[in-house]
Amino acid sequence: MPCVLLIEDDPAVREGTCLALRHQGHDVAAAETGEEGLRRLPAFLPDVVVLDLMLPGISGLEVCRRIRAESQVPIIMVTARGDDVDIVLGLESGADDYVVKPVQARVLEARIRSVLRRVEQGQASDGAIPSAETYGELRIDRAGLTVTCRGATVPLAPSELRLLLTLSASPGRVFSRQQLLETVWEHSYHGDARLVDACVKRLRTKLAEPPRQPRYVETVRGFGYRFNRT
C-alpha cells in the first residue's frame, strides 16, 4: 500500500485525515509536530508526505526545507485558504503540490495519486527521443530518470524532474503554464501558475542557472517557458 506521512498538529484534522487515507487504502503514519515528523521520516520511509505549514515549534516551511535537503520524497503541503505568501514560500521550499483547508478527502487523494503516478512513470520516452541526451554541460538520461550537470548528479524532486523532461522533450517549443500544469501536475482544471513558477525557480537553482540569463529553461514573457538546446 502507498505509505503516507501526515504531519498535522490539529487532533481533529489529523484523526479525520488518517481515517480517510486509510479508508482509501493507504498506510498512514501521523505526527503532530515538525520534530516528530522529521524523526519518523527515515523510520517510516513514506511514499509521500502531507505537511501542514502551520505547526508549533519547527515551522512547516522549515520542515519542508529539511526534508528536501535529504530526500526527494513528494511533499504535499496543506495551507490556510488565501495565504498566498505561505503558498509561494512553501512551493519554493520544495513542496510538489498543495491543498487548502478545509481539506476535502477526495481532493487530497487525487493529489496523492497524482504525485505517486509521477514518481512511478516519470516521463515515458518514445522511439523518436534517445534515452540519454547531452546539452552542453547538462545530460538527461530518460531511461534511468537521472540528470547530471557538469559531471555531478542533480537531485531533483519528482515535479522538477518531470518538468525538465517535459520541456527538454521538445526543445524550442513554448509551453504555457496551463499546458505544464496539465502535463506535469495532471491538473486538468484552470490550475495555479505558482506551482509552475516555483518549480522552475527550484530547477534553475539546482542547475546553477544565472537568475537573469538562464541557459536551459527560458522564460517567454506573456506565454510560458521553453527549453534551449545550448
pLDDT tens-digit readout, 24-59: 999 999 999 999 999 999 999 999 999 999 999 999
pLDDT tens-digit readout, 112-165: 998 888 777 654 444 445 578 999 899 999 888 899 999 999 999 889 999 999
- How many CB atoms sit inside 10 A of residue 72's CB? 17
Q: Please state, rounded to an integer, the average pLDDT across all residues of the chain.
A: 89
CA separation for the pair 44, 40 (Å, rounded): 6
**Domain 132-227, classified CATH 2.40.70.10, yes or no:** no
**Virtual torsion, Cα 193, 196, 198, 203, nearest 10 deg:** -170
Give residue 106's identity as a one-letter amino acid code.
R
pTM over cut 0.85: no
Domain boundaries, the chain: 3-121, 132-227
The secondary structure of residue 29, as a DSSP letter, is: E
**Domain 3-121, classified CATH 3.40.50.2300, yes or no:** yes
pLDDT tens-digit readout, 68-93: 999 989 999 998 866 678 888 889 99
* Cell numbers linked to 164: 525538465
CA separation for the pair 151, 139 (Å, rounded): 8
Write down the pLDDT at residue 46.
96
SS3 per residue for 104-120: CHHHHHHHHHHHHHHHH
Angle at which helix 193-206 crosses helix 158-168, to 10 degrees, equals: 90
CA separation for the pair 94, 86 (Å, rounded): 12
